[in-house]
Amino acid sequence: MRPRKRSLILNGHNTSVSLEDLFWVELKNIAKEEEISINQLVAKIDESRNFEKSGLATELREIVLKHHLREK
């Protein structure tokens, strides 16, 4: 499974992130659960991440993993 570029709008700016289909689908599911758009979810995650620690794609993957670990 190779990452694909996904287009997003973060704080009014076009950007893209490379993610595998599985992570993208799960992020959309998390956004649906929170009753917000995928753009709003990613913007929320982007605002709270440590820019020195990781890139946005890595942070999104971690959020999906943490979300699933909490469900168990």
Dump pLDDT digits (tens) for 46-69. Answer: 988 877 788 999 999 999 999 989
Rounded (10°) CA dihedral 7, 1, 53, 6: 0
| Residue 51 pLDDT | 74
pTM: 0.88
- Whole domain around residue 24: which residue ranges? 4-71
CA 63 to mean position of chain CA atoms: 7
pLDDT tens digits along 2-50: 899 999 999 899 999 999 999 999 999 999 999 999 999 999 999 888 7
Domain count, the chain: 1
CATH code, domain with 49: 1.10.3990.20
